[in-house]
Structure 1
Amino acid sequence: MAIQRPTIDVLKQIANDLHIQLTDTEAAEYLSIIQSNFDAYDLIDELDDEIPEVRYPRANSYRPDATENPLNAWYYKTEVKGALSGKLSGKTIALKDNIFLADVPMMNGSTTLEGFVPEYDATIVTRMLDAGATILGKATCEHFCLSGGSHTSDPVAVHNPYRHGYSAGGSSSGSAALVSNGDVDLAIACDQGGSIRIPAAFCGIYGMKPTHGLVPYTGIMPIENTIDHVGPVSRTVRDNALLLEVIAGGDGLDPRQYHVKTEDYTSYLDRGVKGLKIGVVREGFNLANMDPKVAEKVRKAIVEFEKMGAIVEDISLPEHALAGALWSPVGCEGLTAQMMHGNGMGFNWEGLYGVKLIDKHKDWRKQADQLSPTLKACMFVGEYGIKNYSGRYYAKSKNITRRARAAYDQKLAEYDLLLMPTVPMVAQPLPEPGCSLTEYISKAFEMIGNTASQDITGHPAMSIPCGLVDDLPVGLMLIGPYFGEGKIYQAAAAFEKNVDWKTI
């Protein structure tokens, strides 16, 4: 089918948008010159897209009602059975609803994307099915994944399994809630500012944000290529390590992947922590909104590591706060350019694009008032930086990121792992309907003070449960060197084996 050709008036408007002025005569001549370019567009329009084959049949999918979905943690339910045997045989899995599962609707928490149905499976979906997993559906996530709270998803908030009416954390709210509640064995979550680790901490489970690029992001709706991470959440360390073994490794389609190193992560689980050096990052306890009760639980957990033979020392890492500050220009300008102006995919990278996602997501412009306040706030910052400063602060922040990463690397050359609270608080009450913009937005970002930094530096980080405050879980975060997930699992498994986290 031939694409629609521009008229003289349309071309003059395009030129004007590019700050170029054309006369009618010039526009007519340019139109004649560029016709051959549009002939190439016609050819491409006639060709089939180059997308992966869908190899596993799936049952009819449906959106569960409230009686079947008391936490609002499911977006769609289905059943996709994988191979008859494999590492994940017998394991049930939920996918965060920004992950492509062919023929099952994907909304990414936003009514503006409702009705989109992916044509192919994400790389990690195929890997899990090949390993024998059964996928039971899509887990609710926050509006385009822009919230550390669980109150921004359309149409309703996700509840914490430990206390109804409280946040499950975000943006992988449904993934963590379903695992914590026992609805599935495992789930896939994604993390750009803490969205694996925050809900894991709030829901009392294990959440691993792997090294940037270790797990392919192919077939997952991006926010910003340089901070996109995907990883497992689970009720046990072993299941978490097992799932990472299955999904990790290059696929040749993701520009986030470079010099990827995988390991047999489950081989680390019985090594113990005797002699392991852990640096306790002072700045991770110095957040302005740190709850002293949360800090106390993490300190008590640190004592348990010492009892098991770990060498634990307090350290200072000033660049931890720097990395958190870098998130604002990188995250806000980056998401505005890629996820919004770039219609979810952006430009200038090799790999597998979601063409049908572009077709659907471009229509956000017609429904922009329906975007969540959290996304709008980030877009306002991002657009201001792009329009008024031409992206120079994004660029400068990416340069300075190397400084923050090097500071982490230096400490991780001295210590096997770094440690700090995952979040400065336990789960908070969900905002009431009709609350102020200030409350709505602050409840979305109040908990990211420690987690955003590792999305900027790319280091692996895992939240493990380490106590209860007012009967709500507390999270402790372990941070490792690039591709050092094995050591994180080593420490987490020793803690899980030797400590009843609920009694700390």
Structure 2
Amino acid sequence: MAPNLSPPTDSEIRSISAELGLDLSTDDVEAFADLAPVLFESYERVIDLEPGNDAELERTRRMVLERHPDGDADPHNAWLARCRIDGATDGRLAGYEIGLKDNVSLAGVPMTCGWAGLEGYVPESDATVVRRLLAAGATITGKLNMDSMAFASSGETSDFGPIGNPNAPDHLAGGSSGGSAAAVAAGDVDVAVATDQAGSIRIPAAFCGTVGLKPTHGLVPYTGIVGQGYTFDHVGPIASSVRDCARTLSAIAGPDVVDGEPVDPRQSVETPVGDRSTTDFERALDDREGRLTIGVLEEGFGWPRGEPAVDDTVLEALEIADDDQAIETLERSVPIHSDGMHVWAAVIAESNMALLQHNGVGYFVDGAYDESFAQAFSAAIENEAASLSKSLQLTLVVARYVADRHDGLLHASGQNLRRRLRRAYDEALEDVDVLALPTTPITTFERRDGLSTGEIVQRAYSAVENTSPFNMTGHPAISIPCGTAGGLPVGLMLVATRHDESTLLWAADRLEGRLSASSPSDGRS
């Protein structure tokens, strides 16, 4: 729907100028009121020229089979909507049923991002990854529950209820992509496509005993997905095996270019993924041979809030790997890794504030803008901001405080430190194929009612120490199951050089096969 355009009145100009500290005189106000209509001629012409989202994005109406399935049909509260959308009759994903995290646009199917403030919003067009999944023959079966606005690692802040863990009914699935990991672990879908800004793919994958892949930043287009910040938004698959992650990545990776123009600002024209028709990460699992070298990252272990049994489980898994004549483990140290989470926190707070306090879409970058979502999100923020999760509210309050008092200096410092962090991992990877460390320092959270605000917020941030640094650097990272601690799943994370998903997946596949043959014991302390 086109906006109702009208220039500001004299009183509105005075009010806005006071908010901005402009101290306009009466003559200034009158002059601005006379000049503003000239600018609005351009706005009106833009609306005439651009009637809605990009014309090349197909608008589709689809039938929703079920909204908020009941407990019998959805015992883990993983689903927000069920549908069935069949893709091409053949392709690498033919026969695969795939669920989408509920911040991925699926035309004609409601999208909430786990926040009741967006109830009633229905995307007009498919995200790029959706179009690629369908073209590869996949069947999309619905939208999956998630922490509110993708801002927690616990799996309990969704306005539509906490997400249960299929491996432990009295525990949570983790977040923010909890419904995605739970649906895979429960066998409801073959693959889920989810997003990761601090570990939101890898954390629930680790907690639920599944495989979760965060590709190199920009490898998979984010167009049509609700983000938090252009420089750390990632999208990737959660599956029950490394091979299924590789197969799905082959279908969705590659530059998002329309009429010769890139439409995802997270990608550059030089994104080194080659011709999409020849991208085959699954083939790399079979074609590559030779010795696998693993750098065990010292700083990924021994976190003060961590569980020793988690470290023990991961180390035992790496010892099993090292027993293989074709696998070698070496110790590696990256001291700044211990501060990576702090770099992440400095960047993400003000980035989130800038995106969420405006229109959920942002400014200042080239590419495709989702106008219908911007309109719906702006209305939701205006009317329902008080219902945002407490973890997100805290971040917004702190971000506004430091931005106002320190003029963006802390955000700038965090952004500059990203280069130092990235170089440190690059150096550590120079003589090993991958780095290895626990995906999370802890096992999943117990389901509890009546938590205080402080407890909810603390749990929201309590699993990102090892995952969040790689959202800052853009390195590809994958979590694979490696055993249990106290009866709960533990994930082993591997990290590779940027744009070397082939090595990352090859290494993960090798370890997956080795560990499944050896069955590591429970690492309870």
- Structure 2 length as normaliser, TM-score? 0.93
Change (3 A) 1:391 1:273: farther
Root mean square deviation, CA, Å:
1.6
Q: How much does 1:43 deviate?
A: 2.1
Question: % of aligned pairs identical?
Answer: 38
Where 2:254 maps in the other structure, the secondary structure is coil
Partner residue of 1:77? Answer: 82
**CA deviation after TM superposition for structure 1 residue 57, in Å:** 6.5
Q: Is the 8 A contact 2:5 2:44 kept in 1?
A: yes
Count, aligned residues: 502
Q: CA deviation at 1:17?
A: 2.0
In structure 2, what is the Cα distance between the partners aligned to 1:60 and 1:281? Answer: 46
| Corresponding residue number in structure 1 for 2:16 | 14
1:110 and 2:120 correspond: no
Given the alignment of the two structures, is residue 120 of structure 1 paired with residue 125 of structure 2, yes or no? Answer: yes
Q: Are 2:438 and 2:491, in contact at CA under 8 Å, matched by a contact in 1?
A: yes
Identify the match of residue 261 of structure 1 among 247, 266, 272: 272
Change in 2 beyond 3 A, CA 1:313/1:164: same
CA distance in 1, matches of 2:288, 2:40: 63
- The answer to whether the 8 A contact 2:220-2:234 is kept is yes
User: Which letter maps to 1:301?
Assistant: A
**Judging changes above 3 Å, is the alpha-carbon distance between structure 1 residues 347 and 479 closer, same or farther for their aligned structure 2 residues?**
same
Where do 5+ consecutive residues of structure 2 fail to align? 257-261, 274-278
Please state whether the residue corresponding to 2:162 is helix, strand or coil: coil
Give the conservation status (yes or no) of the 8 Å contact 1:167–1:429. Answer: yes
Given that 1:58 and 1:81 are in contact with CA atoms closer than 8 Å, whether structure 2 keeps it comes out as: no
Query: Is the 8 Å Cα contact of residues 209 and 460 (structure 1) preserved in structure 2?
Result: yes
Query: What's the counterpart of residue 130 of structure 1?
Result: 135
Cα shift readout 1:2-51 (whole Å, capped 9, x = no counterpart): 61221100011122222112233321221112211111212223341242
Q: Which residue of 2 is the match for residue 147 of structure 1? A: 152
Aligned to 1:43: 45
Partner of 1:59: 63
Q: Which amino acid aligns with 2:30?
A: A
C-alpha separation between the residues in 2 aligned to 1:121 and 1:304? Answer: 44
Please state how far the C-alpha of 1:58 moved relative to its aligned partner: 3.3
Specify the SS of the correspondent of 2:82.
strand
Q: Unaligned regions of 5+ residues in structure 1, if any? A: none
Name the CA distance, whole Å, in 2 between partners of 1:36 and 1:116. Answer: 34
Q: 1:335-484 residue pairs with structure 2 within 5 A?
A: 335-338=352-355, 340-363=356-379, 364-432=381-449, 434-484=450-500
Of 343, 363, 367, 1:326 maps to: 343
Task: Note closer, same or farther for the CA distance 1:78–1:98 as it changes in structure 2 (3 Å cut).
Answer: same
CA distance, structure 1, for counterparts of residue 179 and residue 200 of structure 2: 11
Aligned-residue offset at 1:223? 0.5
What is the CA–CA distance in structure 2 between the aligned matches of 1:115 and 1:61, rounded to whole Å? 16
Distance 2:401 2:61 in 1: 46
Deviations 1:364-411 (A, max 9, x none): 132222111111111122111211111111112111110110010111
Select between 464-473 and 16-25 the one with higher mean Cα deviation: 16-25
Structure 2: distance between partners of 1:464 and 1:56: 36
1:90-109 matches, cutoff 5 A: 90-109=95-114
The one-letter code sitting in structure 2 at the alignment partner of 1:9 is: S
Q: Deviations over 1:118-147 (max 9, x none)?
A: 100000000010111000010001110010
The answer (yes or no) to whether the contact 1:323–1:457 under 8 Å persists in 2 is no
Matched residues in 2 for 1:189 and 1:306: separation?
32
Match of 2:237 in 1: 232
> 1:129 is matched by which residue type in structure 2?
L
Higher mean C-alpha displacement, 47-56 vs 306-315: 47-56
- Is residue 8–residue 36 contact of structure 2 (8 Å, CA) maintained in 1? no
Give, in whole Å, the separation in 2 of the partners of 1:256 and 1:465: 30
Letter of the aligned partner of 1:49 in structure 2? G
Q: Which residue is equivalent to 1:159? A: 164
Distance 1:401 1:125 in 2: 31
| Counterpart code for 1:254 | D
Contact 1:224 1:335 in 2 (8 A): yes
Partner residue, 2:259:
none
- Which stretch of structure 1 is more off in the superposition, 25-34 or 408-417? 25-34
SS in 2 for 1:67: coil
Look up the equivalent residue of 2:433 and give its one-letter code. Answer: D
- Any conservation in 1 of the 2:219–2:253 contact (CA below 8 Å)? yes
User: Aligned runs of 1:236-315 on 2, under 5 Å?
Assistant: 236-251=241-256, 252-258=262-268, 259-262=270-273, 263-270=279-286, 274-308=290-324, 309-315=326-332
SS of 2:134's equivalent? helix
Give the partner amino acid of 1:431.
Answer: R
Retained in 1: the 8 A contact 2:59–2:125? no
Secondary structure of 1:270's partner?
helix
What is the distance in 2 between the residues matched to 1:164 and 1:397?
Answer: 39
Work out whether residues 226 and 360 of structure 2, in 8 Å CA contact, stay in contact via their aligned partners in 1.
yes
The one-letter code of the counterpart of 2:502 is G
Do the aligned residues in 1 keep the contact of 2:53 with 2:369 (CA within 8 Å)? no
Query: In the alignment, is the contact (CA less than 8 A) between 1:109 and 1:143 conserved in 2?
Result: yes
**Cα offset, 1:273, TM superposition:** 7.1
Distance between the aligned counterparts of 1:266 and 1:66, measured in 2? 36
- More divergent stretch after superposition (1-10 vs 220-229): 1-10
2:6 matched residue in structure 1: 4
Q: 1:304 to 1:268 in 2, by over 3 A?
A: farther
